[in-house]
Amino acid sequence: MKMRKYIIGLLTIILCSLAISCADELVDESVSSVFRPTVTGSILYLETPEDLLNATTINTYTQTVNFDAFEVDFFSGRVLSGTITYELINTTSKELDVLIEFLDEDGNFLGNESFNLEENETEIREAIYGPGGESIEIIKNLSQIRLTFTNNSGNVSTSSNPDPKVILKSKGEFKIQLIK
């Protein structure tokens, strides 16, 4: 009986030692591993009614939006690459030029995207930042977005749509490094 308790105790100690040594290896591996998850989120949603595009005598409407979401150190210090997807929907009777400018906190130009939309047209486009695309520094330093809509079709609406407008949607998908 004593021998049996001794063997069971010895086996228990050996199994516990093995479990602890395996757990140590797993913890060591996870600490040295680099985690690079992809995070996705909406960036900007804007609707501009055709009445606003018709109201201006200079045919250009500009709006600057404060956008500090990317300035957070956790994001800007860890973002490696990303893709921004733009969807522009034009249900107006207007041919439009749309310019999206990226600015830093001092208003300095970082980069842009430009679109030419025919009446009743939708355009979807992706912009890549990081390896194989635009500089990731644009994303890291982004603080303001300036939108300029230029109406190339005069100030009279001929749209048959019940609520003609331009809709801009954008979303981002970014790879970040969690452990440095």
- Mean pLDDT over 40-67 rounds to 84
Greater model confidence, 88 or 49:
88
* CB within 8 Å of 159: residues ≥ 6 apart: 50, 91, 92, 93, 119, 120
- Mean pLDDT over 96-123 rounds to 95
Between CA 149 and CA 90 the distance in angstroms is 11
**pLDDT score of 124:** 97
**pLDDT score of 76:** 85
**pLDDT score of 136:** 95
CB 161 within 8 A of CB 91: yes
Between CA 102 and CA 92 the distance in angstroms is 26
**pLDDT score of 167:** 95
Q: What angle do CA 88, 92, 94 make, to 5 degrees?
A: 95
Greater model confidence, 1 or 77:
77
